[in-house]
Amino acid sequence: MRLLPGLALWAVALAMAWLLPGHLWHPAQPPPFPMHALLPAVLALLAMTALPPLLVFLIGPSLARKRTLSALEAPPDLVWALLLLALWPAMAGPPGWTAWIAVLLAASVPGETRWLASALPVEMPFPRAWGPAATRASRFQSLRRLVPRWLAARLPLWLTASLVAERVLGLPGLGSDWMARVGGRDHAGLAAWILGFSLLWLAARPLERAAA
Amino acid sequence: MKGEGHEQFIAQALTGDALVGLSAENRPVPRLAASWKVVPGGLDFTLRSDARFTDGSPVTAADVIWTLQAIEADPQASPTKRAALGDLKASGEGLRVRLRGSRPVARLLLELWRVPIAKAGHGDMGSGPFALQRSGTDWTFTARPGHFLHPQVPGLHFRLLPDEAGRLLALRKGWLTIGVPPPQPGLTPPSGMTEIVQPTLAQLIVWAGPGSTPGTLRSLAKWRAEAFPPALMGRAYAPAKGLWPMALGFREMEPAPGPEPCPAALELAYTAGDGVLERQLQALAVRAARDGVTLKLRPLEAGLFLDQLTKGRLALGVITNVFDPDPWSVLGYMEPGGDLNFTGWIDAGTPPLLAELGDPKSPAWKELQALWARHPAALPLLDLHSVVWVDRRLEIKPCALGIYLATPGAAGWRWRE
């Protein structure tokens, strides 16, 4: 019963994608799904999802006050990209996606780590007084509740960042596949995207309940 | 078969061979056909004996017949190819191909370059000078050494860089051999590159819908000459003159004068998201305001824009069109169901004239243009040129079809010693 309003919304989105009005001057084949972008996208997402929680779990809420983290967090995100472009030897050709994922991580991980570390409850005097095992258990429980919400808040931002990388730098990505399918009036392809998102939403429901 | 759009035609020109190609001067030249003979009702071709598909099998009349029949039979096939073929019927055996149809032979020869021949039963296998390997958005074309056009460069690698700033960066870093710079005035190529400006047959055209008055296009014709300041345009654009592309040999002719005034308020729809186009149309609106006319600009998503335009719901709509390099390409404006006849334009005087257009130099063209000038449905605003930056060491011959589509096209490029 609790799922019904959400499912109804997804059904409306599906119907809108299927019935998208308009047509093309010269009908074109729908673009092939960017399968080649899946691996870099999944790797980047895994790294972004795993690194900050892992660091916070290992170091604890004191990480939010560490000067080294501040030093890494202080430069604007674009500085890392500019540094790569400035220092990368032009003779070697354009930097590949592994280099750009490293830039993305350098720009994002410190900020994300601080966000998570600041949100953890204080550990002094308890659970620190009860020993390392209790401290780890407390951190684990807190992160279990924090991480799904953190991901939900940050995913749209990362998707936008990937869109910029795709359009400006010609890197493989999934973001502009949407636009290509809207532009090409690929009703079936758009509906498949909506269906995929709705399944993700359904799969995330148990996480949401656990966090509540 | 189904591929449509500029990129598709480039890929097909590299990986496939049409019976006839177009030279850099827009003349029909032999490609898959070694020679042809004009006969009553059509053309007889003799195919080259050394043409081979990528699997090594020779190109024969059976492949030509299969390709043409497959395009005719498939309603989903490329509309440009279907339009280029018309009612053409193919027959023949061995290396002899007979094409028969109602089209004038001169027109047919100029339009056949659009239809590369595929191996019978394998719509995606061509006999062109390059073989394609695709990896996502990266397309690699490798030269086929035995091909009759003798490609001089080892291959081409295409990278999709949609953003203009990103493209400029890659060009300046030396990461591209050939690239299209952003359409900004004052940009100069980096030291290792040279600029090629090709006058193309592309135009930015405004269509007047069923509700607009004849005075509207007359006013637009007046404004277009002074609306676009050079600082806005760069080398890729020039104000258009006349009614039809003058590069096709048409004389300069404006919409015929008349008593109808231009309405005080106009609404001009265009495809949203193109910043350059937006600035150009704003300049047009400023010029219209000097004549006391409010030109309201209305951006629409591409698919919706076309939907509204073809249903006659737009008073004025702007779109870019690339004409084929033959005078018959303007007939799309006036033929019933023509690919440019968005507004259902019709005139009782056209059918007898259409029958007299067998020759590009026929006097009927002048009469047809005068007839169109009396109540045109469309007017070009800007002529678009293709500006590309090319590595200085690469020898490329510019042409109106762009650097890839002519014959020999990329197969004729070579690295300077």
Residue ending a domain, among B81, B104, B131, is B131
Closest chain B residue by Cα to residue A86: B173
Delimit the domains of chain A by residue range: 54-174
Residues A66-80, mean pLDDT to the nearest whole number: 87
CATH number for position B14:
3.90.76.10
Tell me whether residue B395 is in a domain.
no
Question: Cβ separation of A22 and B175 shorter than 8 Å?
Answer: no
Total number of residues shown for chain A: 212
pLDDT bracket for residue A13 (50, 70, 90) = very high
Nearest chain A Cα distance for residue B162, angstroms: 5
Tell me whether residue B189 is in a domain.
no
Closest Cβ–Cβ partner in B79, B175, B305 for A94? B175
Q: Residue B316 has what pLDDT?
A: 95
Question: Cβ separation of B137 and A28 shorter than 8 Å?
Answer: no
pLDDT of residue B89 exceeding 80 = yes
Q: What is the dihedral of CA B114, B118, B124, B125, to 10 degrees?
A: -120
Q: Residue A209 has what pLDDT?
A: 64
Q: Residue A210 has what pLDDT?
A: 60
DSSP string, A31-44: PPP-GGGHHHHHHH
Q: Which residue has the higher pLDDT, A129 or B96?
A: B96
Question: Cβ separation of B136 and A36 shorter than 8 Å?
Answer: yes
Whether residue B367 sits in one domain with residue B236:
yes
Residue ending a domain, among B131, B160, B185, is B131
pLDDT of residue A211 exceeding 70 = no
Q: Quick one: which of B407, B289, B280 has its CA closest to B23?
A: B407
Q: Quote the longest CA-to-CA distance of chain B.
A: 68
Tell me whether residue B224 is in a domain.
yes
Tell me whether residue B407 is in a domain.
no
ipTM of the complex model = 0.71
Print burial letters for A143-167: b (CB count within 10 Å at least 16), e (below 16).
beebbeebbeebeeebeebbbebbb
Nearest chain B Cα distance for residue A183, angstroms: 7
Q: How many domains does one find in chain B?
A: 2
Residue ending a domain, among B131, B155, B188, is B131
Whether residue B370 sits in one domain with residue B233:
yes
Tell me whether residue B173 is in a domain.
no
Chain segment B240-261, per-residue pLDDT in tens: 999 999 988 898 999 999 888 8
Tell me whether residue B297 is in a domain.
yes
Tell me if B92 sits within 8 A of B65, measured CB to CB. Answer: yes
Q: Which residues pair with B45 in a beta bridge?
A: B36, B97
Question: Cβ separation of B303 and A23 shorter than 8 Å?
Answer: yes
Compute CA B142 distance to the chain's CA centroid, rounded to the nearest angstrom: 25
Q: What is the pTM of this model?
A: 0.82
Tell me whether residue B167 is in a domain.
no
Q: Could you tell me the residue range of the domain that residue B75 belongs to?
A: 6-131
Closest Cβ–Cβ partner in A22, A37, A166 for B303? A22
Closest chain A residue by Cα to residue B174: A90
pLDDT bracket for residue A207 (50, 70, 90) = low
CATH number for position B348:
3.10.105.10
Tell me whether residue B291 is in a domain.
yes
Closest Cβ–Cβ partner in A34, A167, A185 for B166? A167
Question: Cβ separation of A167 and B163 shorter than 8 Å?
Answer: yes
Whether residue B210 sits in one domain with residue B346:
yes
